[in-house]
């Protein structure tokens, strides 16, 4: 297995693997995993189904590999692809901080396809941003003929490399995240129903936004720290909306015991909704707001519709 067959600078390596059953998955990725452990001392992180995980652990038992597991994705989690990419970034930054590179083996799960496969399209595009520069190689396993044809087509477009003939090869079908999201439109997040609170504000009224979120956090019985985190997260997004989107923006709030959802809407447009996924460069004085907000809440999703840009933030106690 020539894991370094393609010359490239250090940083995130994102490769597509086609395999249709657990046995084929193991036979295709284990040589790459063994080589990575042997040649670079890589640690392994799995994001696969239980049968595949057990099969991989059995095959790698004698390799000396340190095998971990990434956060499990569930259909009920209601998280978007870009939010999961932010989770993955936090997890993998922590793993790679040890100084050892990380090899991730991830598997497509049809249970998360939804009506249009949009979760996977957005996730893989967002990973190309959130993991950029990290010493991480991710092998993404997809079936050759997924139920949604768009899932397979977008998987080709989202991966710069493909695993084939025992080595990583350039993928001529690869496209940038902006091109991918422009090519495959998919449904926005689910509707939440009438909000508990709705207000309009301008740049001089941001204190009203903070007060509204603080009050909603108390309604949700958040502790002081959790409530302050959500106030700061929404304030960052709300400030961006009136500074870069439109002179006036709107805030909608849904509060229930243990869970708070806030949505900011402005009439501006955003070229690429996958903002705030990578830490801003220390020399950049601006562009930190959305990244900070993503660190402070459980979920943050940005999308654009005809009426402007929406940002939905969610925190749980």
* Residue 162 shares a structural domain with residue 206: no
Is residue 188 in a domain? Answer: no
Residue 230 or residue 76, greater confidence: 230
Is residue 294 in a domain? Answer: yes
| Range(s) of the domain holding residue 273 | 197-316
* Residue 222 shares a structural domain with residue 305: yes
* Residue 209 shares a structural domain with residue 178: no
pLDDT tens digit sequence for 218-263? 999 999 999 999 999 999 999 999 999 999 999 999 999 999 999 9
pLDDT tens digit sequence for 111-153? 999 888 999 999 999 999 999 999 999 999 999 999 889 999 9
CATH number at residue 265: 3.30.565.10
* Residue 223 shares a structural domain with residue 148: no
Residue 183: what pLDDT? 94
Residue 62: what pLDDT? 85
Residue 285: what pLDDT? 56
Q: Could you tell me the pTM of the whole model?
A: 0.91
The rounded mean pLDDT for the chain is 91
Kindly state the average pLDDT of the residues 188-199: 93
* Residue 147 shares a structural domain with residue 210: no
pLDDT tens digit sequence for 34-67? 999 999 999 999 999 999 999 999 999 888 888 9
Is residue 127 in a domain? Answer: yes
* Residue 172 shares a structural domain with residue 252: no
DSSP letters, the chain, are -BTT-S---SS-EEEEEE-SSHHHHHHHHHHHHHHHHHHH--EEEEES-HHHHHHHHHHTTTTT--EEEPPPP-GGG---HHHHHHHHHHHHHHHHTTS--EEEEEE--GGG-TTTSHHHHHHHHHHHHHTTTSSEEEEEEE-SS-SSHHHHHHHHHH-SEEEETTEEEE-TT---HHHHHHHS----PPP--S-SEEEEEETT-HHHHHHHHHHHHHHTT--HHHHHHHHHHHHHHHHHIIIII-SEEEEEEEEETTEEEEEEEES---S-S--S-SPPPTT-SSS-HHHHHHHHSSEEEEEEETTEEEEEEEEE-
* Residue 32 shares a structural domain with residue 169: yes
């Amino acid at each position: 297995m020539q894991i370094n067959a393609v010359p490239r600078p250090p940083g995130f390596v994102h490769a597509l693997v086609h395999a249709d059953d657990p046995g084929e998955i193991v036979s295709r990725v284990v040589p790459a995993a063994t080589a990575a452990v042997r040649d670079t001392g890589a640690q392994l992180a799995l994001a696969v189904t239980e049968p595949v995980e057990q099969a991989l652990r059995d095959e790698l038992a004698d390799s000396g590999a340190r095998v971990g597991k990434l956060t499990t994705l569930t259909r009920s989690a209601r998280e978007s692809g870009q939010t999961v990419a932010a989770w993955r970034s936090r997890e993998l930054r922590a793993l790679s901080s040890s100084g050892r590179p990380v090899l991730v083996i991830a598997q497509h799960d049809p249970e998360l396809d939804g009506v249009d496969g949009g979760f996977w399209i957005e996730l893989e595009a967002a990973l190309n941003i959130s993991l950029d520069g990290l010493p991480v190689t991710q092998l993404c396993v997809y079936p050759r003929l997924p139920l949604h044809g768009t899932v397979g087509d977008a998987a080709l477009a989202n991966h710069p490399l493909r695993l084939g003939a025992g080595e990583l090869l350039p993928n001529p079908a690869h496209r940038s995240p902006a091109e991918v999201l422009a090519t495959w439109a998919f449904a926005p997040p689910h509707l939440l129903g009438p909000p508990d609170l709705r207000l309009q504000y301008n740049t001089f009224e941001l204190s009203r936004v903070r007060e509204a979120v603080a009050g909603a956090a108390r309604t949700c019985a958040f502790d002081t720290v959790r409530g302050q985190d959500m106030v700061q997260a929404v304030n960052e997004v709300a400030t961006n909306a009136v500074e870069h989107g439109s002179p006036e923006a709107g805030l909608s709030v849904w509060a229930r015991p243990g869970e708070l959802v806030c949505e900011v809407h402005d009439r501006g447009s955003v070229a690429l909704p996958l903002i705030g996924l990578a830490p801003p460069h220390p020399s950049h004085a601006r562009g930190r707001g959305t990244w900070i907000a993503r660190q402070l809440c459980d979920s943050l999703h940005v999308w654009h519709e005809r009426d402007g840009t929406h940002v939905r933030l969610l925190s749980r106690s």
